[in-house]
Amino acid sequence: MNDMKAEVQESGFEQKYELDAPPERVWRAISIAEFRERWLPGKALVDPQSLSETPGKEIRYKLRDDTPPHLESIVTFTIAPNGLGGTSLRIVHELSGATFERLAKTVANGNSPNLMLAA
């Protein structure tokens, strides 16, 4: 990896990397389970199958935290040639569904049941 940039969004974050490897090699690393397992363990995935994919360009997975409150998120990997023989990799990680909506509406000092259970 040569460079990394991260941007925080309201419901998640985005990271951008410039990799020395060609796009075909990066695609294999993110799309083939045996290679992906080396850096993204299957236990972190809700389902080992991707939610959607555009071969050679983009793939999406649903992840779940292994600690309470077991938040679920959607992670989208997008790759493109960078003109230097390498790959631009963009990773967008967003909290998904009702879990995010419930957390976004919870006040930190509101003594809500979620916080009382966490204490």
Q: Residue 22, Cα to own-chain centre: how many angstroms?
A: 21
What's the domain count of the chain?
1
pLDDT digits (tens, 9 = 90+) for 23-71: 999 999 999 999 999 988 888 899 889 999 999 999 999 998 877 777 8
Q: pLDDT tier at 109 (50, 70, 90 boundaries)?
A: low
Helix (H) or strand (E) holding 102: helix 97-104
Domain enclosing residue 89, as ranges: 3-118
Rounded to whole angstroms, how far apart are CA atoms 19 and 29? 12
Query: Nearest 5°: phi and psi at 99?
Result: -60, -45
Residue 89: burial class (beta carbons within 10 Å; 0-12, 13-18, 19+): buried
How much is the pLDDT for 117? 53
What are residue 76's phi and psi, to 5 degrees? -110, 125
Q: What is the CATH number of the domain that holds 63?
A: 3.30.530.20
